[in-house]
């Protein structure tokens, strides 16, 4: 995807100049790309006739990437009864191995980090799932046969800022997800973290926090009846 074309399409939809359903049928922003090895790294190189050339690093160590792919090859298999999920527009991706279902609850956040993939707090509007939408996403993911998505990660923005965050955790556990995670910023105050931990324990779980490589996020892992502290 061309980042520039994506932004142009988004603005056109918000301004009422373009129907969002066009994204399901038109190749909006799609450009040819090459994945290459350069200086021991793996890069994606692509060029848009309108916005110019883009280069994105995919792996810092090509040999390690090759090693990890050989150790965990896996096979993609088609899923059944998933017409509610695989609406990728013109993308040819129709199935995948799957490991964790990620649900972006909100783009609100208490930070404004430059590399944020959600552009949290910087796009000038709030995008937040309703309670009905959260339930629908969680329900639909469990419809896939064979069933694989038994782990869910709530993300954002800062997912704990969503008013139904704890309800989402309870509902996910209720319908059968055996692992519930919350990908959140590491900047929240100790009081906020303790409040979150207390609520998580009330849904028969004990959270742990793991910092990512950037040091700006934490992931709370929630497993029923298991102490991970």
42-50 LR contacts (CB < 8 Å, sep 24+):
46/2, 48/2, 48/4, 48/5, 50/2, 50/4, 50/5
Beta bridge pairs of residue 193: none
φ, ψ of residue 67 to 5 degrees: the values are -65, -45
Q: Quick check: 193 pLDDT over 80?
A: no
Output the pLDDT for position 109.
87
Return the exposure string of 7-45: e unless at least 16 CB atoms fall within 10 Å of the residue's CB, then b: ebbbeebeeeebeeeebeeeebbbeeeeeeeeeeebbee
Ordered by start, the domain boundaries in the chain are: 3-71, 101-224
Query: Is the pLDDT confidence value at 215 over 50?
Result: no
Phi then psi for residue 202, to 5 deg, are -70, -15
Mean of pLDDT values over 154-176 = 92
> Three-state SS for 190?
helix
Does the bond joining 91 to the residue before it have cis omega, within 30 degrees of 0?
Answer: no
What's the pLDDT at 190?
Answer: 56
Residue 98: what pLDDT?
61
**218 pLDDT tier (thresholds 50, 70, 90):** very low
Question: Which residues, listed in sequence order, are joined to residue 211 by a DSSP beta bridge?
Answer: 218
Half-sphere exposure of 222 (CA within 13 A, CB side): 29
d(CA 24, CA 20) in angstroms, rounded, equals: 8
Beta bridge partners of 45: 34, 55
CA triple 151-157-162, angle to 5 deg: 75
Task: Provide the H-helix boundaries in 31-183.
Answer: 62-71, 131-141, 165-175
Pairwise CA distance, residues 221 & 228, whole Å? 8
- End-to-end Cα spacing for the chain: 41
Reported as a single tens digit per residue, the pLDDT across 7-55 is 899 899 989 999 988 888 888 888 999 999 999 999 999 999 999 999 9
Confidence (pLDDT) at 204: 45
Does the pLDDT at position 80 exceed 70? no
Instruction: Give the tokens for residue 156.
Output: 């954002």
Q: Mean pLDDT score of the chain, rounded to an integer?
A: 76
Q: What is the CB neighbour count within 10 angstroms for residue 180? A: 24
- Tell which wins on pLDDT, 47 or 75: 47
Neighbours of 160 (CB within 10 A): 24
Q: Which residue has the higher pLDDT, 179 or 124?
A: 179
Q: Where are the alpha helices (DSSP H) in 72-164?
A: 131-141
């Amino acid at each position: 995807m061309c980042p520039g074309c994506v932004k142009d399409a988004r603005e056109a939809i918000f301004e009422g100049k373009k129907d969002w359903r066009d994204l399901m049928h038109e190749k909006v922003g799609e450009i040819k790309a090459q994945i290459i090895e350069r200086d021991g790294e793996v890069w994606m190189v692509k060029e848009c006739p309108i916005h110019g050339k883009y280069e994105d690093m995919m792996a810092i160590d090509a040999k390690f990437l090759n090693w990890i792919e050989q150790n965990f090859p896996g096979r993609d298999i088609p899923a059944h009864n998933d017409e509610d999920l695989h609406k990728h527009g013109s993308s040819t991706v129709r199935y995948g191995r799957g490991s964790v279902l990620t649900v972006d609850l909100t783009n609100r956040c208490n930070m404004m980090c430059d590399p944020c993939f959600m552009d949290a707090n910087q796009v000038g509007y709030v995008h937040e799932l309703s309670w009905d939408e959260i339930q629908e996403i969680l329900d639909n993911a469990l419809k896939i046969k064979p069933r694989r998505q038994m782990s869910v990660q709530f993300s954002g923005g800062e997912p704990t800022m969503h008013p139904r965050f704890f309800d989402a955790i309870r509902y996910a556990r209720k319908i059968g997800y055996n692992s519930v995670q919350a990908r959140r910023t590491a900047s929240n105050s100790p009081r906020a973290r303790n409040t979150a931990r207390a609520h998580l324990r009330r849904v028969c779980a004990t959270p742990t926090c793991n910092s990512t490589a950037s040091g700006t996020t934490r992931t709370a892992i929630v497993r029923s009846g298991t102490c991970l502290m």
